[in-house]
A and B are shown apart, each in its own frame.
Chain A
Amino acid sequence: MGQIELKQVSKSFGNVEVIPPLDLIIEDGEFVVFVGPSGCGKSTLLRLIAGLEDVTGGHVLIDGKEATLTVPAKRGLAMVFQSYALYPHMSVRKNIAFPLRMAGLDKADQNERVTQAAEVLNLTDYLDRKPGQLSGGQRQRVAIGRAIVREPAAFLFDEPLSNLDAALRVGMRLEISELHKRLKTTMVYVTHDQVEAMTMADKIVVLQAGVIEQVGSPLELYQRPRNTFVAGFIGSPQMNLIDGPEAEKLGAHTIGIRPEHLEISQTEGAWKGKVGVSEHLGSDTFFHVQSSASPEPITVRATGERAFHYGAEVWLSPRPEHLHRFDSKGLRIE
């Protein structure tokens, strides 16, 4: 079991309110990702759940039981840190066994569970090495191993992939998703990378300045962002947000259209423009088009073969069914 409930939880450091009171339920077995720009309070929120920070107000419930004042070790949660936080003077085996040793398990049990975890994580050959002799990806796996052996009610991940290089990150992303499918344990994952959020999450919590902007499945957030912040944050490249006359024509303060929902044509369309920089990725091409619709260039995503030279005159047309409309407060208009 691993259901976590936050009731009116708030956090202040001195006079600065980092997290105004918020409510959130994380269901058992869910993979929940907290995502937001740096400084939005997502790590603080995770640390409040872990018990590494005391809440200023409100209640934390784990499996329906009051845990607001419970010490971290007694909450049955395991955490994987951004710096991995491995114990440098202990071998991999001792690192993984540390929580078991602290729990007073006998040697035989410890060994069995360490061996099991090492097999799951492909660490068997490295058990007698020190963390300093491992690569970044391997260290990450040791940190996960140390979390797994405790058989926690939920795993907490604090930006675990941000210290890895791009290729390794994609691999570890898959491994963590795989692990979740296999263990079916609740996982709470903090990241500032919306790609990680979209690919891994069952449920995404978008945070800004300590406030939850939207909670939903990745596709919900992609298809129906509740406000302009979520609209701009989720999706890559970013959604084009257009203010002014073009938006007013549709009865909105701001309209949003994703780069992949724009048609680009040399002959006809809704907005006339000039092609600026083109970015060719092979599979896709991104055109930055300066158009009559908005002062900022509009990003258009086309298939890889399309090509326009710099300064070419083109026409853009949004697909009407994919237009998002927002009012003057930035909230979605249905």
Chain B
Amino acid sequence: MATQHSRSAARLMIAPAVTLLLGWMLIPLSMTLFFSFKKYLPMRGDSLENGLDWVGFENYARFVTSSSFWPAVQATLIIVGGVLVVTVILGVILALLLDQEMWGQGIVRILVIAPFFVMPTVSALLWKNMFMDPINGFFAHILKAVGLQPIAFLSQHSLGALVTIVSWQWLPFATLILLTATQSLDREQLEAAEMDGARWQSRFIYIMLPHLARAITVVILIQTIFLLGIFAEILVTTQGSFGTKTLTYLIFQRVLESQNVGLGSAGGVYAIILANIVAIFLMRIVGKNLDA
């Protein structure tokens, strides 16, 4: 920006957006922080009017020492890790395939992106009722057709089933980012490698994968931030049973089912810290990308 004048005009013009965003974020954040240091059990008569008791870090300590905490961490890691592995591997494969010249390229690409437009609640319901239902589900019918016992996926393989559902939702995102990265690879580099005697596998390992490395990192970080917060899929399918209670779901239960706002808020603060650690790495990598 050139002059003093245009700079102050710019500040004035972005002021509404900044104010709105700050209000939007800061008010809930400070409320969460406030509650996390208070004993607040609305069902037992605690209320803001009567004043809440200050309990220091008791909520924080109780949240991590509860018997549900470590299983929740474990479930979270399995779901996040599982979805990342599935989406990155399949994303790379799909990106390489979609990069090929083929008939109906435009339509196929739109179809690949489509799951991303389906709301999480809807897709979870679809998977639960149409595919994984042990009586009416598509998979049950297939298994019965080949003479096998239908499987109740959501109770017997609950984590695997959730990973499948969430991966289906996030695969388009990974594919899209990796496809654009694939397309930006210089064709002459691949031809040079071909001349240098690199077979297909070698070209993939030595040329394509290093080229995709940064895009893969971006996919992993962005997805991690969103995957740490998946909720609708769990609520709609297992409601936290069969070992699918993640940190987010645990916080939800603490606040709404146990009606312990203070304890849930403390969990929320943990989640905020966790998400920010990931975000810092993301900002650095994306920032580097923009500099290069």
Interface residues of A (CB under 8 A from B): 50, 52, 71-73, 77-79, 81-83, 85-90, 98-99, 102-103, 146, 150
Q: Bound complex: CA of A83 vs CA of B164, how far in Å?
A: 43
Question: Which among B186, B195, B197, B210 has the greatest number of chain A C-beta atoms within 10 A?
Answer: B195
Contact of A79 with B211 in the complex, beta carbons under 8 Å = no
Contact of B191 with A52 in the complex, beta carbons under 8 Å = yes
* B193 interfacial by beta-carbon distance below 8 Å: yes
* B198 interfacial by beta-carbon distance below 8 Å: yes
CB nearest to B188 among chain A residues: A85
From B186, B196, B199, give the contact of A83 (CB < 8 A): B186
Contact of B194 with A52 in the complex, beta carbons under 8 Å = yes
Min CB gap A47→B, angstroms: 8
Q: Bound complex: CA of A329 vs CA of B196, how far in Å?
A: 45
Contact of B210 with A89 in the complex, beta carbons under 8 Å = yes
* B285 interfacial by beta-carbon distance below 8 Å: no
Q: DSSP class of A's interface residues: helix, strand, loop or mixed?
A: loop
- B211-227: CB near A (< 8 Å → 1, else 0) gives 10100000000000000
Contact of B192 with A102 in the complex, beta carbons under 8 Å = no
Min CB gap A25→B, angstroms: 23
- List chain B residues, Cβ under 8 A from A50: 195
Q: Bound complex: CA of A79 vs CA of B194, how far in Å?
A: 10
Contact of B188 with A81 in the complex, beta carbons under 8 Å = yes
Write 15 A-B pairs (CB below 8 A) sorted by A numbering.
A78-B195, A79-B191, A79-B192, A82-B188, A85-B186, A85-B188, A85-B191, A85-B192, A87-B193, A87-B207, A87-B210, A98-B196, A98-B198, A99-B195, A146-B196
- List chain A residues, Cβ under 8 A from B197: 73, 99, 102-103
Q: DSSP class of B's interface residues: helix, strand, loop or mixed?
A: helix
Min CB gap B80→A, angstroms: 28
Question: Which among A50, A77, A88, A102 has the greatest number of chain B C-beta atoms within 10 A?
Answer: A102
Add 19 more A-B contacts to A90-B206, A98-B196 (CB < 8 A).
A52-B195, A73-B194, A73-B195, A79-B192, A81-B191, A81-B192, A83-B186, A85-B188, A85-B189, A85-B192, A86-B189, A87-B192, A87-B207, A87-B210, A98-B193, A102-B196, A102-B199, A146-B196, A150-B196
Interface residues of B (CB under 8 A from A): 186, 188-189, 191-199, 202, 206-207, 210-211, 213
Contact of B202 with A72 in the complex, beta carbons under 8 Å = no
- List chain B residues, Cβ under 8 A from A72: 191, 194-195
Min CB gap A181→B, angstroms: 24
Q: Bound complex: CA of A89 vs CA of B210, how far in Å?
A: 7
Min CB gap B60→A, angstroms: 44
Q: Which 3 A-B pairs have the closest CB atoms?
A: A73-B197, A85-B192, A99-B196
- List chain A residues, Cβ under 8 A from B199: 102
- List chain B residues, Cβ under 8 A from A71: 194
Min CB gap B229→A, angstroms: 33
- List chain A residues, Cβ under 8 A from B207: 87
Contact of A87 with B206 in the complex, beta carbons under 8 Å = yes
- List chain A residues, Cβ under 8 A from B195: 50, 52, 72-73, 77-79, 99
Q: Bound complex: CA of A213 vs CA of B199, how far in Å?
A: 38
Q: Bound complex: CA of A12 vs CA of B194, how far in Å?
A: 22
Q: Bound complex: CA of A90 vs CA of B193, how far in Å?
A: 13
Min CB gap B209→A, angstroms: 10
Min CB gap A309→B, angstroms: 47
Q: Bound complex: CA of A44 vs CA of B20, how far in Å?
A: 58
- List chain A residues, Cβ under 8 A from B191: 52, 72, 79, 81, 85
Contact of B202 with A102 in the complex, beta carbons under 8 Å = yes
From A79, A87, A102, give the contact of B189 (CB < 8 A): A87
Question: Which among B186, B196, B211 has the greatest number of chain A C-beta atoms within 10 A?
Answer: B196
CB nearest to B194 among chain A residues: A72
Q: Bound complex: CA of A78 vs CA of B188, how far in Å?
A: 13
Q: Bound complex: CA of A326 vs CA of B202, how far in Å?
A: 55
Min CB gap B185→A, angstroms: 10
CB nearest to A146 among chain B residues: B196
Min CB gap B191→A, angstroms: 5
Q: Bound complex: CA of A50 vs CA of B191, how far in Å?
A: 10
Q: Bound complex: CA of A89 vs CA of B192, how far in Å?
A: 15
- List chain B residues, Cβ under 8 A from A146: 192, 196
- List chain A residues, Cβ under 8 A from B213: 89
- List chain A residues, Cβ under 8 A from B206: 87, 90, 98
Min CB gap A22→B, angstroms: 23
CB nearest to B192 among chain A residues: A85
Min CB gap B224→A, angstroms: 24
- List chain B residues, Cβ under 8 A from A88: 211
Contact of B188 with A83 in the complex, beta carbons under 8 Å = yes
- List chain A residues, Cβ under 8 A from B202: 102
Q: Bound complex: CA of A77 vs CA of B196, how far in Å?
A: 9
Contact of A73 with B196 in the complex, beta carbons under 8 Å = yes
Q: Bound complex: CA of A86 vs CA of B202, how far in Å?
A: 16
Min CB gap A219→B, angstroms: 33
Q: Bound complex: CA of A29 vs CA of B65, how far in Å?
A: 79
- List chain A residues, Cβ under 8 A from B189: 85-87
